[in-house]
A and B are shown apart, each in its own frame.
Chain A
Amino acid sequence: MNITRRRLLVLLPAAAIAWKHILAGTPEASPNYKLTEHWWGMLVDITKCIGCGNCVRACQTENEVPDGYYRTWVERYHVEG
């Protein structure tokens, strides 16, 4: 494909339109929010866990996850030795 003047005349405006759409798809800026200032974490003391499974059940209930679609569970393993 040789880029002729004619082809360039078609390609450039098309590229410009495409570029505009790309810019429109980028998220709005949130001026007062800095991503690097918000590091979230969660600590779980597993030595206190009694394995009742209420954390799993509560998450499922509060988020209205239908039966059969839940993929978060807590398993217990006993390692000998």
Chain B
Amino acid sequence: MRLAAVFLVGTLLFLLARGFLVPRSFGQYGHYRGNAIAEIAARPVAFAGHQTCETCHSDVLELKQKGRHARVNCEACHGALAKHAEDPVSVKPAKLQAAVLCARCHEANIAKPKQFPQVVPAEHSGGAACDMCHQPHSPALDSGKRK
């Protein structure tokens, strides 16, 4: 009897503490705070999306569409630039390092799909920067040598 009473009081105390500690909207839609959806939606976005980029940079879009990078998103290489899209005059994107960015995808790795173009950068160019020969927006050699 005594044990049962202690157990009951313990259970009640646990439920009471739980009632205070678990946020009010928890479990509203699932195993998370229902309020979190609105909170996350209210946060500013970091990525502008390629459609936004293309409204101004139509020349790049035209060049890109001819080459094999046609379906690579702008911000995949240029980084998240929603701030630049909002205020193109004062927020300028940082200069890109071709050697780092090209290698990010094209560095040889046996686990990558075989048909995907891969190089060992040191062997492929002997240390020369990728964009000496390739135009990153349309990388095939004949399609866009740097002027």
Contact = CB atoms under 8 A, between A and B. Distances in A.
B113 A33 contact: no
A58 interface: yes
Interface in A43-72: 47-54, 58, 61-62, 64
Interface residues of B, number: 36
A14 to B, nearest CB: 8
Contact of B19 (A3, A21, A78): A21
Contacts of A47: 113
Interface stretch (B23-31, B56-64, B86-94): B23-31
B2 A27 contact: no
B111 A78 contact: yes
Given A1-B5, A47-B113, A62 B80 contact: yes
Interface residues of A, number: 33
Nearest to B110: A78
A57 B140 CA distance: 27
A28 B24 contact: yes
20 contacts: A2-B1, A3-B5, A15-B12, A26-B19, A27-B24, A27-B25, A27-B28, A28-B24, A28-B25, A30-B28, A30-B29, A30-B34, A33-B29, A35-B29, A35-B30, A51-B112, A58-B80, A61-B79, A62-B80, A78-B110
